[in-house]
């Protein structure tokens, strides 16, 4: 019974979201630090630390910690890439799944070794600015990474469709830049996700690329870099601090993935058929020169088949007000075929020039006859 009396904990009264003790608040504040140290020395589980927090302590945890030296809190972060895919040229969107890992020191969590943290504990957050159609956010982890320094770690994963503007003038031999943009206006959210927000003025913390090598690389790739129709060339990052005239400071984190289009598909589907049709157009000379109608029919059939390839290309690109590189190739082939038709008919056919002259002469005579008839009337 004596031992049980020594380890007896204060009587607790539980409400909906708070924990209160029967001891007076003034005496509890004075003995709180000593109680934590005594519980650690006597081997009491650190899980009991949570029971010593007063209502005002729990509420104050939802505020950003104040650095020991004062100033703005510095939050280190790194990025993780899980997947990039579904790069749609026509809709100019791409699907991504990325994560942000935050590290910061909270003096209030110094010595905290319990795996259970207060639900109202403050933590940084960011939003995916150029997402379209909603963002799936996964709050994966919130732990004490180093109890000695009170260093906390938070992992947030984002999955969404990202707007991907493209310059298609060199399509399909183009290089594009896929740029997810994470933005923070001192965004924050509690551990229990009950409350969160941002600052309308000032800045409560500053995002800084990860400085401790022991906490990992700044960008960690959990993805093999394969993208359907594309090849990943390189990637780069940029962190910008932009003060606003409204009084707040916006932190913008840009991750640029430079991707090159794999153009083999378009060569096989468009350029190779163009070459075949151009070579086949020379077979028109095998038709007897006297069969002008057959020659023209064959030549114009090839011309129409060539023209139809423009619609094959159009299925993969949006409606733009300029010609892409593949459009220029198709139109160049069309003009070449048209020139071949005219040259074969006028030069290679012995009767071509004569027939053309007779047609023009008949039209001229018919026009004169019509004019004479009008004068008679």
* Sequence-distant (≥ 6) Cβ neighbours of residue 362 within 8 angstroms: none
Q: For residue 313, which of 260, 268, 259, 258 has the smallest C-alpha distance?
A: 268
How remote is the C-alpha of 314 from its chain's centroid?
24
Domain 265-371 has CATH 1.20.58.390: yes
Nearest to 258 by CA among 281, 291, 231: 231
Helix (H), strand (E) counts: the chain: 8, 16
Contact yes or no for 89/167 (Cβ under 8 A):
no
Fold of 64-262: Acetylcholine Binding Protein; Chain: A, (2.70.170)
Cα angle vertex 226, ends 82, 137, to 5°? 20
Structural domain boundaries of the chain? 2-59, 64-262, 265-371
Contacts of 108 (CB under 8 A, 6+ apart): 61, 65, 150
pLDDT tens per residue across all 377 residues of the chain: 333 333 333 333 333 333 333 333 344 334 444 444 443 343 334 434 444 555 556 778 899 998 877 789 999 999 999 999 999 999 999 999 999 999 999 999 999 988 899 999 999 999 999 999 889 999 999 999 999 999 999 999 999 999 999 999 999 999 999 999 999 999 999 999 999 999 999 899 999 999 999 999 999 999 998 999 999 999 999 999 999 998 999 999 999 999 999 998 888 888 888 888 888 877 777 777 667 777 778 877 887 888 787 777 777 788 888 888 888 888 888 888 777 767 666 665 555 566 667 777 888 888 888 877 776 66
Task: Return the exposure string of 201-230: e unless at least 16 CB atoms fall within 10 Å of the residue's CB, then b.
Answer: eebbbbbeebeeeebeeebeeebeeebebb
- Cα atoms in the Cβ-side hemisphere of radius 13 Å centred on 233: 11
């Amino acid at each position: 019974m004596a031992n049980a009396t020594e380890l007896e904990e204060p009587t607790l009264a539980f409400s909906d979201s708070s924990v209160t003790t029967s001891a007076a608040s003034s005496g509890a504040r004075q003995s709180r630090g000593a109680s934590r140290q005594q519980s650690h020395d006597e081997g009491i589980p650190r899980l009991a630390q949570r029971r010593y927090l007063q209502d005002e302590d729990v509420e104050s945890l939802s505020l950003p910690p104040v650095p020991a030296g004062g100033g703005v809190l510095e939050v280190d972060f790194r990025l993780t890439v899980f997947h990039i895919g579904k790069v749609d040229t026509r809709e100019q969107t791409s699907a991504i799944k990325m994560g942000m890992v935050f590290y910061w020191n909270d003096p209030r969590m110094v010595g905290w070794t319990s795996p259970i943290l207060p639900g109202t504990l403050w933590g940084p957050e960011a939003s995916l600015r150029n997402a379209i159609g909603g963002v799936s956010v996964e709050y994966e982890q919130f732990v004490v990474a180093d109890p000695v320094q009170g260093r906390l770690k938070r992992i947030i994963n984002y999955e969404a469709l990202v707007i991907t503007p493209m310059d298609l003038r060199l399509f399909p031999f183009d290089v594009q830049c896929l740029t997810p943009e994470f933005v923070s206006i001192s965004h924050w959210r509690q551990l229990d996700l009950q409350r969160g927000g941002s600052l309308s003025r000032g800045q409560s913390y500053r995002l800084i690329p990860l400085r401790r090598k022991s906490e990992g690389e700044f960008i960690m790739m959990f993805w093999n870099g394969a993208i359907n129709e594309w090849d990943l060339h390189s990637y780069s990052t940029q962190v910008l601090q932009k003060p606003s005239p409204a009084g707040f400071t916006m932190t913008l984190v840009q991750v640029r993935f430079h991707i090159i289009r794999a153009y083999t598909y378009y060569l096989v589907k468009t350029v190779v058929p163009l070459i075949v049709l151009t070579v086949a157009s020379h077979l028109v000379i095998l038709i007897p020169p006297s069969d002008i109608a057959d020659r023209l029919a064959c030549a114009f059939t090839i011309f129409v088949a060539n023209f139809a390839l423009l619609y094959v290309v159009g299925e993969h690109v949006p409606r733009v007000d300029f010609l892409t590189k593949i459009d220029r190739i198709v139109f160049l082939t069309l003009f070449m075929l048209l020139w071949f038709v005219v040259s074969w008919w006028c030069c290679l056919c012995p009767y071509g020039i004569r027939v053309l002259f007779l047609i023009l002469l008949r039209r001229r005579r018919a026009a004169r006859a019509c004019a004479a008839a009008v004068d008679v009337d």
